[in-house]
Structure 1
């Protein structure tokens, strides 16, 4: 699987956990906003599904991708659809470190407070 950020984002938009974690290394380290690091593909899958359960839907709008060696930085506007029907769009930056074609480290920088306000 190539370093296909669009496919990774599309899997999240579909809430397809299996397709999402297929982009991750087995021992991936993931930090989402201000949460504690999650280690391992299955643990990331559980944490991701738990987050998705708090929202109705999500759409990633990729604004820019910058690649340097094994590091890819992605700038998004992410549109979250809340359970109450409201939509909140947040600026998000994700710094991804790759081992080959799989993400070994994912650090998502986002302020999620407006999503739950």
Structure 2
């Protein structure tokens, strides 16, 4: 049985690190955009915690979902709220591979976050 993807993204949007981690296999490989892949839940926990500290909030609107064997491909409109209160929308795709027990053992996020962290223009 695969993890509940919609519930996982509810945890992600709530910045619930432990809820998110419960969906991951212990040996997960997690890559966010062009960052170096993180290996194992401990590295992912630290990386996600650090990322959450860099933004005020986020919200994913799923616009596509495809499941093929052990792989799930997702498409989102994601709105990031900056600490200055600005909101930036960016497209995002996620590719997940599910282990035999249903938890995610490979998690890849494809997006460009540069607008989120760029200086605000007036």
TM class by shorter chain equals: over 0.9
Q: Deviations along 1:81-108, whole A, 9 cap, x unmatched? A: 0000000011000000000310000010
CA distance in 1, matches of 2:95, 2:2: 17
| Structure 1, unpaired ranges of 5+ | none
Q: Secondary structure at the match of 2:104?
A: strand
Q: Deviations along 1:5-46, whole A, 9 cap, x unmatched? A: 111111111111000000000000000011000000111011
TM-score, length-normalised on structure 1?
Answer: 0.97
Residue number in structure 1 paired with 2:74: 74
List structure 1 runs of 4+ shifted beyond 3 angstroms.
Answer: none
TM-score, length-normalised on structure 2?
Answer: 0.93
How big is the alpha-carbon RMSD for the aligned residues of Structure 1 and Structure 2? 1.0
Q: What is the deviation of 1:2? A: 3.6
Q: What is the deviation of 1:3? A: 2.6
In the TM superposition, 1:29-108 aligns within 5 A as: 29-100=29-100, 101-108=102-109
Asked if 1 retains the 8 angstrom alpha-carbon contact of 2:2 and 2:98, the reply is no
Instruction: Indicate the structure (1 or 2) with the bigger Cα radius of gyration.
Output: 2
CA distance in 2, matches of 1:21, 1:92: 20
